[in-house]
Amino acid sequence: MVWKDVVAELRTKERFSAMFTFAIVVVVVFNFAFELRDMDKSAVGAGVLWVAIAFAGVLGLNRSFAQEKEGGCLEGLMLIPVDRSVVYVGKMIGNLLSMLVTEAVILPVFMVLLDVQVFQPLLLLTIVLGTVGFVAMGTLLSAMSVNTKTREVLLPILLFPLAVPVLIAAVKASGIVMGGGSQEGLWSWLQLLGVYDVIFLVLSALTFEYVLEE
């Protein structure tokens, strides 16, 4: 499942190009806005980064099951003689890889434009943990909304309220790292991210079978 998604994306680059372009536009727009307002970039950099990641991620998640739907492959996924949670894990890993590649490309641009150091181990850990939680819930909701006529609108409406805890924890942890804050506070947010990741992964894997059948 993961290999299929990777090969399909390498051939078309449809999701990556859309996610990358959108993320870059968000970072550039915020950069000019903050320059005009003379704001402290290190204080707002975490928010800018996660706005770009979250909205670019929604674009990629929207295409995750849409490609299967347009190609008539959803029925084929349901006929695979494995537990449905395996299908979920495969799609989730494919979406995760897509987002991580996009983040790896936009981070240098983010660093140059906002003059914020991003290549720090703790910040990279925060980005990975936040992305896992976001993708875990987003993959399930993408499967849920794919059969609706307004899936492009429905997915963000469903996803963002549920992803608020992950995004808040990720922004707080990222801000602490960028600003050189207390490590004690940082680990609290990282632990919260880890807990949400586990909860979202388990719940999504357990309920994916019913979502796919519907």
| Residue 76: CB atoms within 10 Å | 10
Confidence band (pLDDT; 50, 70, 90) for 73? low
Average pLDDT over residues 120-133: 93
Please count the other Cβ atoms lying within 10 Å of the Cβ belonging to residue 57.
27
Question: Position of tokens 């909205």?
Answer: 55
What pLDDT was estimated at residue 182?
64
- pLDDT at position 1: 66
φ, ψ for residue 181 (rounded to 5)?
-80, -170
Scan for tokens 């600003």, then name that residue.
179
> What's the pLDDT at 80?
66
Which of 213, 46, 22, 73 has its CA nearest to residue 127?
46
**DSSP H/E element including 200:** helix 183-213
pLDDT higher at 109 or 11: 109
Q: What ranges do the domains of the chain cover? A: 2-213
The whole-angstrom separation of Cα 33 and Cα 47 is 13
| pLDDT reported for residue 184 | 72
Place of tokens 């963000």: 156
Q: Which residue has the higher pLDDT, 180 or 214?
A: 180
Q: What percent of the chain has pLDDT over 90?
A: 21
CB atoms within 10 A of CB 130: 29
Across 193-213, average pLDDT: 87
Quick check: 18 and 60 in contact, CB under 8 A? yes
CA-only gyration radius of the chain, Å: 17
> Taking all residues of the chain, what is their mean pLDDT, rounded to a whole number?
81
**pLDDT higher than threshold 50 for residue 36:** no
Most confident of 104-118, 147-161, 167-181, 190-204: 190-204
Distance set, CA 119 to CA 37, 53, 72 (Å) = 26, 16, 41
Residue 6 has pLDDT above 70, yes or no: no
**pLDDT beyond 50 at 214:** yes
Are 68 and 39 within 8 A, CB to CB? no
3-state secondary structure 70-111: HCCCHHHHHHCCCCHHHHHHHHHHHHHHHHHHHHHHHHHHHH
Average pLDDT over residues 19-29: 84
User: What is the rounded average pLDDT of the residues 99-127?
Assistant: 86
